[in-house]
Amino acid sequence: MWLFRHSQCTSKVRLVGKTVVITGANTGIGKETARDLYRRGARVILACRDIQKANDALEDLKKNPPSRADRKQFQGNPGELVIYRLDLSSLKSVKECAKNLLTNESAIHLLINNAGVMMCPQETTEDGFELQLQTNYIGHFLLTLLLLPKMQSSLPVCRIVNVSSRIHIFGAIHDDLNLKESYTPLKAYMQSKLANILFAKELARRLKEANISGINVYSLHPGAITTELGRHFSETVFPGANTVLRAILRPILKNPEEGAQTTLHCAVDEKAANETGLYYQECGVATPHWRARNDQIAKDLWDVTCRLLHLKSDEDLATFLKTISRQIAE
Ligand SMILES: NC(=O)c1ccc[n+]([C@@H]2O[C@H](COP(=O)([O-])OP(=O)(O)OC[C@H]3O[C@@H](n4cnc5c(N)ncnc54)[C@H](OP(=O)(O)O)[C@@H]3O)[C@@H](O)[C@H]2O)c1
């Protein structure tokens, strides 16, 4: 059963000369993804909201290799580790981070949209969006579009990886995306994770339609993992819920290194290089819920998101990317 499987990314590829951006890389599976890719020789950018936490993570990543450091892919020199500030709950911060990346980095080959929050109390961001929607989905949507032109010039092969969740199967995209009248912490999380998959699917379709080749898009469920993701459970489920649930579920939970394997598979696996727009779990292609496969829902969500971000979505993708790049440069 998938719940108890702990598949491994089997690729031995080295990433010397490749630049990777990972959001939320200071802890959890983002940090373990960074540890692996750094040891494969990549320049790994930790895009984090808390610079102190990011610095602590950087020190740990430098000192400690992945648990099975004897593997071939970790044998050469490690790459580089760099920190950029990124708070996905602020569009201003997303634009600033993108601008800094576009200015300072000569290439971006891999973008891993990993950061996330789960089941927090209802909160509206400075941009007027529900917090989980913006952090998990809208912030990543904007970041991705802003970085795409740089990725286009970093070919031959680039990948965008959206970390979603199996829990999307219970989610829906609601007319009231911000759930102003009907917020529950779980409903908002499930919607945002469904949006991660629909975004990957629709972006892959639009890239194909615009004849932009060499940028593949993936979404995935990483498994159930012991990370800090449940940090809000005690506020929104019941007092002490995070500790109690961890203790009960521990036997079936993955550790963060195991939890990073499907992200790594999507990011580096050689066979996955021929795939785009698909959803993965346990290091293989999987079938998401019908809503996550629905073309119309994916297109509608793209259009609504563009409207919310005041972007004109009816242009073809190439023109659209030029327009938003111009906007950010202003
Ligand atoms: N753990 C699981 O069982 C599980 C299952 C399915 C899917 N996932 C998905 O896996 C991804 C990683 O989660 P995780 O389990 O590793 O959780 P985690 O340990 O809580 O890590 C989440 C990361 O996201 C960052 N983050 C949160 N809000 C942010 C913001 N506004 N701007 C920038 N970064 C922000 C956090 O930074 P701070 O440390 O500063 O808060 C942290 O680095 C998430 O997308 C989650 O939905 C996890």
pLDDT at 32 over 60: yes
Average pLDDT over residues 267-274: 97
- The 10s digit of each residue's pLDDT in 33-86 is 999 999 999 999 999 999 999 999 999 999 999 999 999 999 999 999 999 999
pLDDT for residue 3: 54
| Percent of residues, the chain, with pLDDT higher than 70 | 98
- The 10s digit of each residue's pLDDT in 90-135 is 999 999 999 999 999 999 999 999 999 999 999 999 999 999 999 9
* Distance (Å) from CA 136 to ligand 1 centroid: 9
For the chain, the distance separating the N- and C-terminal CA atoms, rounded to the nearest angstrom, is 52
Q: Is the CB of 171 under 6 A from ligand 1?
A: no
Instruction: Determine the Cα–Cα distance for residues 119 and 160; give it in Å rounded to an integer.
Output: 25
Atom 34 in ligand 1: which residue has the minimum CA distance? 24
Atom 42 in ligand 1: which residue has the minimum CA distance? 24
Q: Which of 125, 166, 229 to mutate to test the pocket of ligand 1 (most atoms within 8 A of CB)?
A: 229
Query: Relative to the CA of 229, which ligand 1 atom is closest?
Result: 20
| Percent of residues, the chain, with pLDDT higher than 90 | 85
- The 10s digit of each residue's pLDDT in 150-207 is 999 997 889 999 999 999 999 999 999 999 999 999 999 999 999 999 999 999 999 9
pLDDT for residue 323: 85
Verify cis geometry, omega within 30 degrees of 0, for the bond prior to 256: no
Q: Which helix (H) or strand (E) holds 44?
A: strand 43-48
pLDDT for residue 313: 80
To which residue do tokens 């339609």 refer? 209
Q: Is the CB of 116 under 6 A from ligand 1?
A: yes
189 an active-site residue? yes
Rounded mean pLDDT of the chain?
95
Strand order in the sheet with 158-163: 80-85, 43-48, 19-23, 110-113, 158-163, 215-221, 278-281, 284-286
pLDDT category, 327, cuts 50, 70, 90?
confident
Query: Relative to the CA of 24, which ligand 1 atom is closest?
Result: 43
Structural tokens at position 243? 């500790």
pLDDT for residue 20: 98
Q: Is the CB of 50 under 6 A from ligand 1?
A: yes
Name the more confident of 50 and 246: 50
pLDDT for residue 1: 45
Q: Which helix (H) or strand (E) holds 185?
A: helix 185-209
pLDDT at 237 over 90: no
pLDDT for residue 6: 84
The SS3 assignment for 130 reads strand
Q: What amino acid is encoded at 183 in this protein?
A: Y
Q: Map out the domains of the chain with their CATH numbers.
A: 18-329 (3.40.50.720)
pLDDT for residue 37: 98
* Distance (Å) from CA 120 to ligand 1 centroid: 12
* Distance (Å) from CA 109 to ligand 1 centroid: 22
* Distance (Å) from CA 28 to ligand 1 centroid: 7
pLDDT at 208 over 60: yes
